[in-house]
């Protein structure tokens, strides 16, 4: 098992990515190659950058990858707002994703503060 797999934040981000995938599958066909794809990519980036953080030896580099993961998470939420505004996602589904993102955001902020 790799070190990043042990991180609770990585595990939560993995669940989040899978929920994003399930949610974007329901978007209209016209959004499959635009909003849907971009939302999935930013969610994947969140997960991937947490993993990459685990490969870095320098605390400065580790913190930087956590910051990138956080930015990707925020990007995902911004895109989900677009989906909500256009009624591609139900409010209760959006709220579930938003709640998960807040938990991940707090965990990432805590992880970032742990690097001196």
- The CATH number linked to 105 is 1.20.1440.60
| Cut 0.85: pTM above it | yes
How many domains are there within the chain? 1
Residue 90 lies in a domain: yes
pLDDT at 116 over 80: no
Question: What confidence tens digit (pLDDT) does each residue in 68-107 have?
Answer: 999 999 999 999 999 999 999 999 999 999 999 999 999 9
By the 8 A CB rule, do 37 and 93 touch?
no
Residue range of the domain that includes 38: 3-17+33-114
Q: What is the mean pLDDT of residues 25-39?
A: 95
| 103 belongs to a structural domain | yes
In a domain, 55, yes or no: yes
């Amino acid at each position: 098992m790799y070190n990043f797999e042990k991180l609770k934040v990585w595990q939560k981000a993995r669940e989040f990515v899978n929920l994003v995938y399930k949610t974007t599958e329901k978007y209209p066909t016209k959004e499959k190659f635009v909003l849907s794809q971009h939302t999935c990519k930013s969610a994947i980036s969140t997960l991937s950058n947490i993993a990459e953080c685990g490969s870095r030896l320098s605390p400065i580099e580790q913190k930087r990858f956590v910051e990138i993961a956080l930015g990707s998470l925020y990007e995902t939420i911004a895109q989900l707002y677009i989906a909500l505004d256009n009624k591609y996602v139900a409010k209760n589904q959006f709220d579930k994703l938003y709640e998960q993102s807040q938990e991940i955001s707090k965990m990432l902020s805590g992880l970032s503060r742990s690097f001196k």
